[in-house]
Each structure stands twice: as C-alpha cells, then as structure tokens.
Amino acid sequence: MKIHNIPADEVLKHFVVPEDGLHQNEAKRRLSEFGLNEIKKVKKKSLLKKLTEQFTHFLAILLWVAAAFCFVSEYLNPGEGMLMLGFAIIGVIVINAIFTFIQEHRAEKALAALKRMLPSFVKVLREGAEKDVPSAEIVPGDIIFISEGDKVPADTRLIQASGLMINNAALTGESEPVPRTAGMFDGEFIESPNIAFAGTTAVSGSGKAVVFATGMSTEFGRIAHLTGAVEAGLSPLQKEIIKVTRIVAAIATLMGVLFFALGHFIGRSFWENFIFAIGIIVANVPEGLLPTVTLSLAMGSQRMAKRKALIKTLTAVETLGSVSVICTDKTGTLTQNKMEVKTIWTASPPQPPLIKGGSVGNSPHDMLMKIAMLCNNARLVNGEFKGDPTEIALLKKAKETAGECKSERVSEIPFDSERKRMTTVNIFDGKHTAFTKGAPEMVLSVCTHALMNGKIISLDDSIKKQISDAHDSMTGKGLRVLAFAYKDMSSKSGVQSTEFEEILKSQLTTHDSKLNLESNLIFTGLIGLEDPPRPEVPEAISKCRDAGIRIIMITGDGSRTAEAIAREIGLVKENPVIVEGHDFLKMTDKELRDVLSKKEVIFSRMSPKHKMRVVSILKGEGERVAVTGDGVNDAPALKKADIGIAMGITGTDVAKEAADMILLDDNFATIVNAIEEGRAVYENIRKFVTYIFSSNIPEIIPYLAYVIFRIPLPLTIIQILAIDLGTDMFPALALGAEKPSPEVMKQPPRNPKERLLNFPTLSRAYLFLGPIEAAAGLFGFFYVLKSGGWQWGETLLSNNILYMQATTACLTAIIISQVGNVFACRSMRESVFTLGFFTNKLIFMGIAFEIILQFFIVYHPWGNKIFGTSPLGINIWLMLIPFAILLLFADELRKWVSRKKQS
C-alpha cells in the first residue's frame, strides 16, 4: 500500500516509529543507512580547470602574444634582450594566474563559510521531546512539526493538520497555496493532500508529519539536476571591472601601436620601437585588479557577518552602499522583541488578583486569563517557553495569575494578516468554547456582547467608548494592545458532539466556518504589552540621518503605539504623516507617492503584502530601497526591494530564502552597520584602484620621454613588472581592508549609476598623484645620470653601470612615492591624520614587504641580475624620500580644499 493510501493513525506503525518519536540511537542508525538529507550539487569545476582558465582569458592571451613577439624578435635579431623579456612576460602570466587563482579560491571559501553560519533547523519529536535538529540530519521516520513560514525539509506524510496551506511552487510551479489534510487519499501520489513535499513552504496553519523520503530520494531531489548546473553570475561591479580592464588593455595596445609608428617616423629602430610598444602595454594592463576586487567583496561580506549581518551574494555588498530608504518593521527590529504584559483592562471594576494555582473563575479578569492561555500556541518545553514572543508573554502572565488550565483543543483558525486575529475551539469544563484574540478593531468587529461584572451584556456605544479610551491610553504609552473574546458553542451548535468535532476538523481550510466561529463573540478585555526599544537604535537612526538615508516604519501595530515608539527612538521629531492600513488601501498611486515624498512617514495596521506596493512606488521614484521582513507574506517585498533583509531569529524559511541579507540578531542597528560596511567596501575598492592606477603614470611617462626626447629608457619593462606584481600588490590589499571611516556615513547615498572609475577618481590618479610620482622617478634617473657625467644625447648600453644605477634610482623613486601614496589613498577627502596614522596595521605590513622587496632588487646580486639594477648609495635614498612626503602633503592640501568647498 502506498504511503498516501494509509490512514493517518497507521502511518507510525508503517514506519516502525513509536508515538514519542525515534530514539537517538535509531536516528543515528537511519542517518547512516539513508545518508544526509541534502540535494547533491552538480560537480564543480576542478581546481586544475580553474587554474588553467587563468592562462587563457583576454589579458593572458594579450600577454602570450607579446611574449611570442619577443621570442620571434630574439630569433630574428639576437642580443637585444628579447629572450629575457619574453621569459619575464611569461613570468607575469604565471604569477598573475596563480595570484588570481588564490584570490578567487579564498573568495569562494569566504562565501562558503558565510553560508555555513546559518544552518537550517527543523522541529522534531525524538524520545518524547521536541528538539531542533539540523535539516541535513532528518531521517525517514522522524516526526516533524510544520508551522507557518517553514520550508518542508523532506517528503512527509501528514498525520495532523490544522488549517495547513502549502505552496507547491518549488515543485509544480503553481503559486496558489493548496490545503493539506491528514486523511487517507486514493488518487495520484503527486496530487495527494496528505503529502507535504521537500522544498515546498507552509503558507499558514500548522501540522505534524512523518518523514518518508530524504535527500535525492525526494521528489525535489529527482528534479534537482534541472537547476543544479546554474552558476551564480558576476556582480555588476565585477562586470564593470572586467569591462574597464579590457578597455584599458585595448587603449594600451592602441597606444603601443601608435607610438611604434611615431618612433618609426622619427627614426627609431624597429627593436627600440618594439620594446616601447611592449612596455606601454605591460605598464597599462591592471593585471591583478579583478581578483583583488572579488576578494575585497568577499572579505567585506565576512566583516559584515562579524557584525551580525549575513550577506548571501556579493552583489548585495555593493548595493548596500547605495541604499537611500529603509522600510523597517517595528517589533523585534526597532524594539527588543521581549514582550511583557504591563496592563490588563476589563469593562468591570478591578478584581483582586487570583492566587497562583487557583481555579479559573467566570469574572472578566479570569476569563481574560483563560483566553490568553488557551488561544495561544506558545509552549513550555523542558522548563523553557517556546513560541512567538507575544504569545510567550501572554502564557507567562496567565500561568502566573491562574496556574494551569486543562483543556483539549479541537481546532484552530490561525492568525493571518488579513483578519488580524486567531481563534481556537477548546473543550473546557465539558463545553466547546471558541476563544479569539487579535487587533482590537478586528476583534470588536465580530463582537456583539461584552462580559461585565460576571454578566453578558449587549456591546453598546458606551462600552465601546470605554474600550476605545482604554485602548488609546495604552497605545499612547507605546504599548502593543490585544483584544480578547469568546463564545460558548455547545449550546448553540444544534449538532451532536462527535458531529460537531468532525465539522470543525473539516472546515479550517477557509475562513468561512460552517459553525461561523468568528461571529457574535463576547468581548472580554484588553491586554497591553510592552516591547522596549533596542538601546542601539537611536544612535543608528542618527547615523542614517547624517548619511542621507530615510527610514519609514511599516508596522502591524496601531498608529498611536507606532508613533510613541518612533518618538522615543528619535525616528520622528516633528509631525509625521501616519497612514492606517484601511486608508492605505483607498489611496491612489499618486496619493501614495505624495505621502512617500514627506520627510517623516509611518504606516500602521499594515499587512505584510502591502509592503510590496510601498517598495514599488519608492523604486519608481528612483530610491534604492532596503526592506525588512520575517513572514511568508513579506517574501514578495523582500524580492522586489534592492536589498531584502530577513530576520535570522524570528524569520521564516521563506523570508530568509527571498532575502539578500539576513540579520543574525534581528537588530535595526545591524542594518545600519551593514550599510556602513557596504559603503566602506565600495570606497576601499576605489582606494586601491586609485593606488594601482597612480603608478601607471610614472611607468608610462618614461617611455614617452624615451621616444620623444631620445633619452635612455628610464624604466625597463622588467622593472615595471616589479612594481605592478611585486611592490604594489600588498599595500593595495591593505587598502582593501580599511575600516569604515567617519566620513563614509556623512555622505549622501551613492547613485547606483555612478561608475567606480569616475572622473574624480581617474583625475586624482592620472592627473594629480601619478605626475608627482613620475616627477620623482625622472628626477632620480637624471640626478644619477648627471652625477655620473652623462651628457644629453649620449647613448648608454643596457649593461652600463651608470645606466643601471639611473634606472634603479627611477624605480626606487616610484616605490618610495608609493609609500606616501598608500597613506594618501586611505581616504578621498578626510585627512589621514584624522583617521589615525596607525589604525590600519596591514598597511605597515604591506610597506615593510614593499621595502624589503626593493632592497632585494637593489642590493642582492640575484635582484640585480633579474631586474637589471645596480646598488645605490644612501645619499640617493635621502634625495628621494622627500618626494613621498611631498606627495602625501600635496594630497592633504587637496583634501583640505575639497572639505572647504563642501562645507
């Protein structure tokens, strides 16, 4: 007999599972037998293939062609040093390939480590206790609990279901939720309503199910190969870097060809021109740029994770830096989600408190506690309360006040964002009673009577006025207010008890009950709960203001509660525009657009699904929107937003899957920290790009001088490679690890259309910093030549000691200038002395490596032979060091002028 044909009460017997769940040893045995509950991924590229690809991309091919020309020229015209140059270029290809391979591998490992930080857990019944078990360790026979928002971890057979609706889109493509029941089914397996398949999601309700297939044995596993081969694409920033690199390489190649022709025109030999053309290409190609950017994004993601923000994609890192509006929930994000009952109100005079452990009476206060306890899905498990924080607070208060209430729950209509209430039917004192709790206006709308002084009276306008005044008093203090009601159903149902229960069990797939559960209720009272704001939030909101980021609160709570909390945390200071949910539904897009243009906006009594419209309007106005969410209905808005942010603690699996970022602590301040890190990552990339591009000018200008002024070549190609792939690399990586500077959150959000290599960045590198370095290099070169008696127009051989010392001085001057440049590039506008000269220790490590490598190149015989250098006297170093100081202070002056213009 197939699993879906078996009656619910025989399923456990079929899988040889006791009613209290599998024992731990048996679960381990089954895990060993069936394996981990995982979908096997398509085999990734081998490390060898990834390494091979580094030798065949666009830039590598360009350099291979250059090396081939060198070997051909050595064959045709021996003795010109082309053989050594050819091997040097191959060395560049190899070094760059290995460096890129290592960087990308580190980036992949960093992202893999982030994914491991948020494992998925499932509520499982084992040995009579409810346990949180990693979804990968679920085995056939496990009894699992399914709640609203859960992702079903394996193929399961339901044995209990209460209003359970499942979205099968992941399996069938149909997005409309379908009801699930526990009864046996004789039709097709795939259409069975008693089966919840792996990968599907619970939209509402709850259920209890037995796992019968895991991993690749599930229906989802069988079709996984259809999507498993899809690889993540490059982020926009990575694409831009590739594009820029190719453009720069193409320009370099064109320059090489043009100056080759110019050299020929002015009478230079073919080989002199050829050396020049190769030199221009090598000097301009930013060989290590893309892997450095990729690693910087990955490291930024890891830094965010340390600050409790888990980034799911590299794209999200760069997008965070351009966020201009944050649409945030209140409960649990701006507040601590530590609910505590502060006020209890009934329409009767205050009653003396009940003695703990006493019986529940029939006074309004007693009935209120009864409803708070029984219309509640929180549970006390092994001495620990589990469930929604609001329900835990109610259950705690009810137990403290009234002790235990023994009751059997017959059915439940779960809370949803449309009705804003929850109803259960319980057998209490031998009677079927419906208990309801929810938003006051939604509960009152289905009440016709009220409990007052132990009597049921008509709910007239005077009592409604009392309720409204009490509600306003509580919300004015920032309390979250819930209303409670009930009705005795046994005497009015007109059906026998057994028939009554069958009808209840069958009607919960829609809100329209055959017994009309949510109507003619008896209002009992209000409970006000306090959820204090998080202490870090006011400072985070202040940071957002300085950074030009607007914050819009979207909450399900009433407007008075929302405004009171907003004022307490400094979110609103003037008279905010407050839009209630019912008014929101009546608004046209134009009216909503006008509201969203206001400085301070609060949306109250909103359903999660309405966030989508707010996000769409904001994006249509050109805003870059981050939105928070934790429920199933938040998923569309999370996907629509530029940055969807799910709650790591209270968030459902559906919300986490739809989001780009997950808050591990559910804290609003963490969002602001992540935006700060996102801005910093982008700025850091711009810093090291400026640093790398700055050294291109002192590499290019010597070649231009060599062609135009017919002087000895001040800088050889091998020495250019020493700068690009040796001395520059580690200081550049150190710039990528800069912490966010204070100025990062005092600037308006970056326009997403703004290019990484914009005019200010390029002009600073090519027209300001670069020329200073070029001047230093040429000064060193000519100083040594003149000191050695060189006359203008005199030709020097490449092995001439004076010539080698002069090129060594040029190279050393550029390296020394780069030391000053790395400090200058630590910020665009802020003084390095304000940042703190020693706050980035990695820079000093990078400089130490740079100096040690330069000492090797200048003073070691191997360095002299490889790079064509010759030792310099200490007086030359002392002559060149002032250029580093000059560059640093020249840029400090530029920053000061820039700050003055801004202020």
- Mind telling me the catalytic residues? 329
Tokens 């109507």 belong to 519
Whole-angstrom distance, CA of residue 458 vs CA of residue 210: 48
Q: Which amino acid is at 372?
A: A
Which among 806, 769, 616 has a CA at the least distance from the CA of 687?
Answer: 769
* 193 and 144 Cβ atoms separated by less than 8 Å: no
Q: Which two tokens stand for residue 358?
A: 């006493």
Q: Please state at what angle helix 236-265 crosses helix 270-284, rounded to 10 degrees.
A: 160
HSE-CB of 311 using CA atoms within 13 angstroms: 28
Q: Which two tokens stand for residue 584?
A: 């929101």
CA distances (Å), 718 to each of 769, 797, 816, in order? 23, 16, 18
Which among 12, 10, 31, 4 has a CA at the least distance from the CA of 143?
Answer: 12
Burial of 720 (0-12, 13-18, 19+ CB in 10 A): buried
Helices (H), 266-388: 270-284, 289-306, 314-320, 364-374
* 507 and 163 Cβ atoms separated by less than 8 Å: no
Whole-angstrom distance, CA of residue 253 vs CA of residue 268: 19
For residue 732, the surrounding DSSP H or E stretch is helix 729-735
User: For 349, which DSSP code?
Assistant: P
**β-strands 577-580, 550-554 pairing:** unpaired
Q: In sequence order, what are the residues at sequence separation of 6 or more whose Cβ sits closer than 8 angstroms to the Cβ of residue 79?
A: none
CA distances (Å), 204 to each of 24, 162, 268, 485, in order? 30, 9, 81, 22
CA distances (Å), 862 to each of 107, 799, 815, 848, 859, in order? 34, 15, 19, 20, 9
Q: What is the CA angle 106-110-114, rounded to 5?
A: 170
Q: Which amino acid is at 187?
A: G
Whole-angstrom distance, CA of residue 737 vs CA of residue 741: 12
* 138 and 388 Cβ atoms separated by less than 8 Å: no
Tokens 């320009």 belong to 251
Whole-angstrom distance, CA of residue 736 vs CA of residue 47: 26
Which among 825, 818, 690, 832 has a CA at the least distance from the CA of 761?
Answer: 690
Q: In sequence order, what are the residues at sequence separation of 6 or more whose Cβ sits closer than 8 angstroms to the Cβ of residue 132?
A: 121, 122, 123, 124
